[in-house]
Amino acid sequence: MLFIPMLGKEKALNKGKGEKMKFSNLGKETPILDGLEKVTGRARYVPDLKVEGMLHGRILRSPYPHARLKKVDISKAERISGVRDIITGKKVSQHKFGPMVPDWVILPDDKVRFHGDEVAAVAATSEESAAEALSLIEVEYEVLPAVFDPELAMAEEAPLLYEEKENNIATTFYVHKGDVDKALAGSEIVFEETYQTNQVYQAYMETMAAVAAPGDYERLTMWLSTQIPSMSRLRYAEALEICAEDLRIIKPHVGGGFGAKFEYKAHILAAVLARRTGSPVRMVNNREEDFRAGNPRVPMKIWIKLGLAKDGTLLAKDTRIIAGNGARTVYAPAITSTACYRIDSLYKFKNVRSTGYTVYTNTIPTSCFRGFGNAQMHFAMESALDTICHQYNLDPIKIRQQNGVTPGFTSIHGWEIKSCALKECLDKAVEESNWYDKKKEPAEKSPVKKGIGVAICNHVSGNRPFFKPFDGSSALVRLTPEGKAIVFTGEADIGQGMNTAFALIAAEAVGLDVKNVRTAAVDTDISPFGLGSFATRGTTIGGRAVYEAAVNLKKQLLEHLARVYEKKIEQITINEGQIYFDDQEDPITVAKAIQTISYTLGGTSLVGHGVFVPETVLPDENKYGNVSPAYPFGCHIAEVEVDTETGRARLLNYWAVHDVGRVINKQTLEGQVEGGVMMGAGWALGEDMVVKEGKLLNPNFHDYCLPTAMDTPRGRIYSYFLESGDPNGPFGAKGIGEPSLNPVPAAIANAVFDAVGVRVKNLPITPEKILEGLASA
């Protein structure tokens, strides 16, 4: 096998924008390759698995937000027929671990820290026995004072969740570049405001799930509903105190994640029970548990101060963020730091300062949710800019074009903006939405008023500091003697359509028909290491590795074709599964040729290997350094109507324009954008995890109001894609998952303000808040 790593070479994988490129597979509306099995119900997810001798695991969760465990008595529960094992904190190792901060244990033996915290776990031969056993575990709790609001948790008198964590502060992030105080002092416009974003739930269709099965050679196989097969393998090996090689992770179809499906306690408990009983153990959250102990969005209180010149030039940004970590650390600290400084590379700032506190409270541990802190800050920043424009009579479109980053720009944090069609995104959105005409329309006479609002966004496509050892990806593309290609990747398709994107990239790069290409399910015994689905990195970084593997495969294929058919490589062209020789009229099929080649090589498949390691760096101590190989941008314009008597805001139309570098699959891109817009609209207009004294009051889809199909815009969501052709992405492609959501709450809030003059600064924008605003106007 030939191995030609393309380490960080920024090859021109595409021609620049403006030049139309001819593609056989890209830019079309390709239905996802596993679509049929999904819509017919044949696709198998972790909860569908049935393994011989499988036990059912259940978790006993704390009914108190903060309590000392005085006694956990399992004697009655153990007597239930079918119960095979019950574990408590006393029965398991108390070593500490965790994705970012070692504040996790398998099960606590001292205290519980949130309503829903794990107290004990049962494995039984049926779900009913497991449930009955749970009800018979007798726990004596000593209820402790608890704290729920992150700001109150920082107060001197607040009860501490962890004795060693002063003021309940898990982590602090600080960055200062330029001279913010001086720049603010010299600013003609100084604006200051506080915004709040609430806690919301990712609401993936498949709840958190694992099946763990002890196997041969003392190994453990885990089927996980996860975004990070390879990373969770490392973490779970640490939790179980075993060698990672003895853990095999298989990721079948996954029913969504949106950031929630990283390391998860229930997975580890399934593994512990499986190892103790010697039997496979299934652990699947019911929906209520998933609400009460999932990994919802990090709530934030964001204070922001902006300094501008009279003409709208941004001079300084100063922010202070208090973020809710919940009762143990998942990824909130990284999310807080992202909120603190990622948006600084959307605009040409020269002076920025930001402090972010990630604070423990006796509530559900919080974590990643599409947007990763950048979405929270977009709400604050883009709302603030809108207010400034209104107060100082500046044009909200022009101020963004004037200050937005441009191609070739290096941001204040050293982020290298290679491709960027931000300005064009604004132009397109303005044109398509008829922005300026709509702005001029007189107010409606009826109680229902229309309004229009804009917000722009940036994001990353890969985030170097997320996994300290490296960023990058590798892939294999295997061409079988039957002429079919299989892509092996460790990157996790969780429903976004990434596997289809990979197949399209491989097909395009080799010259195959995509119907003969598929992407294998991730299995750590077979697949390369892949960091997983986060930071909008899959298509860009994973896809680039697939591209490199396909290029490598093609090189081998050409060499073998030249050898077997006695041609020169320059004489051979491969396109859409056909091989053309320049001295021959009729092409031959790849399938026929590869069979011939394979039979000269002992029946082997040809395997292309590709590696992509972006030239990104870990930021230095002052957070300087290019973290991502590519940066996607976008502009959203929302049109709403607001009923001034009921306070209800509804979407009328929505225009989402994104610089995606290159369109790989138009159909899944549109899906991502429409999904991102509606997910953002749900957050903006009503979704809210209502917590009282630490207890979640709406842990179900009846009371937690996700938008339905009926809540989509009365008109429609218009999506447009601009192709700036990034030098690092495969064929120039950049990511879309998170940028599709980032600007949504601000665009809607700005439209609501335009409609009725009410500025809602704390999400969600409820009828009550709008009516209150109207009453006080």
Partner 1 sequence: MTWENYYMPLTTGEAIELLVEKQGKARIIAGGTDLMVQHRSDPLNVRALIDIGRIPGLKEIREDSRRIYIGASVTHSQIVNSALLKKKGRVLVEAARTVGAPQIRNVGTVGGNVVNAQPAADTAIALTALDARIHILSGDGEFEKPVIDTFLGPGKSCIDPSKELVTAFSYSIPGPGERSCFARLARRESLALPIVNLGLWLCLEEDDHILKDIRIAVGPMSTVPFRARETEALLKGVLLDKAVIEKAGRSISDEVTPRDSFRGSADFKKQMIGVILKRSLESALEGKGVDSDEREQ
Q: Which residues sit at the interface with partner 1, rule CB under 8 A?
A: 645-646, 648, 686, 690, 697-698, 702-703, 705-711, 714, 767-768, 771
Smallest Cα–Cα separation from 613: which of 534, 548, 536, 523?
548
Closest to 588 (Cα-Cα) out of 602, 567, 608: 567
Shortest CB 225 distance to partner 1, Å: 23
CB of 712 to partner 1, least distance (A): 9
Q: Where are the alpha helices (DSSP H) in 280-406?
A: 287-293, 332-341, 374-392, 396-403
3-state secondary structure 497-549: CHHHHHHHHHHHHHCCCHHHEEECCEECCCCCCCCCCCCCCHHHHHHHHHHHH
Can you read off the two tokens belonging to residue 107? 């099960």
Sign of the CA dihedral running 78, 82, 88, 90:
positive
**Rounded to the nearest whole angstrom, what is the least distance from the CB of residue 443 to partner 1 in the complex?**
19
- C-alpha 459/C-alpha 405 separation (Å) is 12
Residue 617 or residue 706: which is nearer to partner 1 going by CB? 706
**Interatomic CA distance for residues 383 and 638, integer angstroms:** 13
Q: How far is the CB of 61 from partner 1 (least distance, A)?
A: 16
Q: How far is the CB of 76 from partner 1 (least distance, A)?
A: 21
Q: How far is the CB of 453 from partner 1 (least distance, A)?
A: 21
CB of 757 to partner 1, least distance (A): 20
Nearer to partner 1, 8 or 767 (CB): 767
Residue 709 or 777: which CB sits closer to partner 1? 709
Q: Is 705 exposed, middle or buried (0-12, 13-18, 19+ CB in 10 A)?
A: middle
- The least distance separating partner 1 from the CB of residue 287, rounded to whole angstroms, comes to 12
Amino acid, res. 493: D
Nearer residue to partner 1 within complex by CB, 215 or 715: 715
Q: Which residues pair with 719 in a beta bridge?
A: 656
Closer Cβ to partner 1, 564 or 706, answer by number: 706
Q: How far apart are CA 456 and CA 634, in angstroms?
A: 6
The 10 Å Cβ neighbour count of residue 367 is 28
d(CA 457, CA 337): 17
- Paired with 575 in beta bridges are 578
205 vs 709 by CB, closer to partner 1:
709
In the complex with partner 1, the residue whose CB is nearer, 617 or 705, is 705
Q: Taking the complex as a whole, how short is the minimal distance between the CB of residue 656 and partner 1, in angstroms?
A: 21
Q: Tokens representing 694?
A: 């630490």
Residue whose CB is less far from partner 1, 571 or 698 = 698
Q: Write out the DSSP string of 215-274.
A: -GGG-EEEEE--S-HHHHHHHHHHHHTS-GGGEEEEE-B----TT--SS-HHHHHHHHHH
Q: Residue 56 Cβ, how far from partner 1 at the closest point, in Å?
A: 17
Closest CB 703 distance from partner 1, rounded Å: 6
User: How many Å apart are CA 435 and CA 438, to the nearest integer?
Assistant: 5
Sign, CA dihedral 736-737-738-743, equals: positive
* Cis peptide preceding 396, ω within 30 of 0: no
For the record, the structure tokens of 529 come out as 């290491």
Residue with Cβ nearer partner 1 (285 or 628): 285
The residue (of 256 and 767) whose beta carbon lies closer to partner 1 is 767
Count of alpha carbons within 13 angstroms of residue 651, beta-carbon side? 31
Strand pairing category for 695-696 and 691-692: antiparallel
DSSP one-letter code for 714: S
Q: How far is the CB of 648 from partner 1 (least distance, A)?
A: 7
Residue placing its CB nearer to partner 1 in the complex, 563 or 714:
714
Q: Which is nearer to partner 1, 224 or 771 (CB)?
A: 771
Amino acid at 17: K
Q: Is 205 exposed, middle or buried (0-12, 13-18, 19+ CB in 10 A)?
A: exposed
